[in-house]
Every structure is written in structure tokens, then in C-alpha cells.
Amino acid sequence: MQQGIDSLEPFMASAWRLDEQGDPCATLSWATASIVDATGSSPETVLFFHDGRYLGTTTSRPYAFTSVAEQTDDTVTVQYKWLNPDDANANPTGGPALVRYRWNGSSVEMLDELPDEVLNPPDPNPAPTTSTEPPPPPSSGRCVDDDMLRAITSGIGDGQWQLSAVDSRCETLTYFLVEANGKDWHGAQPVHVLFFHDGNFLGTATDTAYAYTRFVSHDDTSVTVAYRWVLPGDDPYSPTGGPVQVRYEWNGSSVDTIGSIPVEVTG
């Protein structure tokens, strides 16, 4: 598997690393790879394997917001999303479109077509049109700057945290994902989700930082996070438990947790 990932052309000088892996014993097995230091809108690529032999990737070029939705023994369904105009950079509302790839006994067949929006995505930031209406008043809320973030993370645990994901610093419910730094966690870095409102630190999503915690989506008042966990026999870099999604929502005075984190994560 690593040989297949190593064969991928670097993306803007960034190398690729294993992100997730499917059933390695399936007739058509898969893995996803993301670039080192990826952000929420960085490209992902899906690699296929048969009998341990690397077959290639789903598409000739990688696309952002790509993930595996389902797998049977000989078929892998890949989900594609895309940014619509006015979408936040890491929160696409286009799609999802599901494309099936099937092993036919000698090669992989693509059973569905990629939408044109994936191949030629709309401009998420179109040029503004001329308007006679006055501009909206500036927001009175406070944004979160780097100094504020460093002050908060320095007081969590041993203070050794690095920024992992953020999309906006000025939302009603602003979030940051920070992961533990300072030693080799072998792919299982504990991750904290930090919440802010109007520049004020509200706290973390959980008292304990958990590995395999990833941002899924957000809007102005809510953030959705996915939790995964390692099952017996899993490689620590490729957990197969989950994912389970939990939504955190600002209710006007505090953050509500909608959904529950499985005991496999907390235990």
C-alpha cells in the first residue's frame, strides 16, 4: 500500500500520506491519501488494490472533498462534493454525488460519471456585482487572533498543541482543532476541539482529547465533528471504527452537544 502512495506525484510540492484504509482482504480494496499538512479543502485521492497489487487511483487528478462512502467485496462507492458560490472554503454544499467503481475480473470499471461540478467546480468567490444598496454594517463580534489562541492552548494540559483545522475566526460559533505536539504519536495524536463566541473562549468539546477526531462541516452557529477509533488488528494510522458524527450548536448562551460520542472513543 505504501508503495502505491509513494508513487503519487507530489501536490504543490507536498507529499502524500495514508489517511484511511478499507478491507484489505476484499477483491477490490481501497485506501485514501491526503497531503501532508492538509487543510479542510485540500485534495484527497482514492487508491485501488487487488490481491495486494496497486491498480491506480479513481481519477487522474485528485479532488477536494472526496471520501469513500461504501464498500462491498468487488465495488467501492466514492462520494464527491464541491463548493458552491458563497460556500465557506472547507464546508461544501454541492453534492454529494456517488460514483461506483467495480472490479470486473481484470480491471476497475467506473459505473457512474463524475459530475461536471467536480471536474469544473463553480467559482466559490464570484466577482461581486454592482449594487446600489448600502453595504451591511460590520459585525460587532470579536474575531479570534493567533495571540488569543496561543494563550488558550498554553493552558491546556502541557501546552504542547499545534493548529490542525480552522475555517473562520469570526463565526458566531468559532472552532479550532488542535492536535498534540512534541512527540511521535504514530498517527494517533490526541485532538481537542476549541470553541469561541464573540472572541471569548467557551471551552473544549470534550474534557479529554481523543485521537482520530476530524472536522466534517460547519455553519455560522454549529460545527460537526467525526470521531473514529482503532479496532483489534487495525494499523494505528488507519482506524476502521466509526466514524460517528457529533454536532455542536450555539444556543444563544452556550454550546449544545447533539449526539453522543461512542464508548469505544471515550473508553
Burial 13-48 (b: 16+ CB within 10 A, else e): eeebebbbbbeeebebbbbbbbbeebebbbbbbbbb
Answer yes or no: are the C-beta atoms of 167 and 40 closer than 8 Å.
yes
Residue 129 has pLDDT above 80, yes or no: no
- Please say if the pLDDT value at position 73 is more than 70: yes
pLDDT in tens, 176-227: 888 887 665 666 788 899 999 988 889 999 988 888 888 888 888 998 888 8
Residue 135 has pLDDT above 50, yes or no: no
User: Which position has the higher pLDDT, 226 or 128?
Assistant: 226
pLDDT at 53 (0 to 100): 92
Point out which residues pair with 80 in neighbouring strands: 66, 97
Q: Rounded mean pLDDT of 62-90? A: 88
Is the pLDDT higher at 251 or at 131? 251
Find all residues with CB under 8 Å of 85, minimum gap 6, and list them.
122, 123, 124, 125, 126
Q: Residue 106: which residues within 8 A CB-CB, separation 6 or more?
A: none
- pLDDT for res 244: 87
What average pLDDT does range 148-154 have in this prediction? 84
Q: What is the pTM of this model?
A: 0.50
pLDDT at site 140: 43
User: What is the pLDDT at residue 108?
Assistant: 92
Say which residue, 140 or 85, is predicted with more confidence: 85
Q: What are 14-55's pLDDT values in tens digits?
A: 889 998 999 999 999 999 998 887 777 788 999 999 998 999
Residue 156 has pLDDT above 60, yes or no: yes
Is a pLDDT exceeding 90 seen at residue 132?
no
pLDDT above 60 for 130: no
Cβ–Cβ < 8 Å for 97, 115: yes
Q: Which long-range contacts (CB under 8 A, 24 or more apart) does 17-22 make?
A: 18/237, 18/238, 19/44, 19/238, 20/68, 20/238, 21/235, 21/238, 21/240, 22/68, 22/71, 22/76
pLDDT at 61 over 70: yes
Secondary element (H or E) of residue 54: strand 53-57
Return the C-alpha cell found at 40: 479542510
Q: Chain-wide mean pLDDT for the chain?
A: 83
Q: Tell me what pLDDT residue 98 has.
A: 92
For residue 166 the three cell numbers come to: 480552522
Strand partners, 71: 76
Q: What CA–CA distance (Å, rounded) separates 201 from 198?
A: 9
pLDDT surpasses 80 at 63: yes
Query: What is the rounded (10 degree) CA torsion for 228, 28, 32, 177?
Result: -10
Say whether pLDDT at 138 is over 50: no
Res 46: pLDDT: 94
Would the pLDDT of 121 be above 70?
A: no
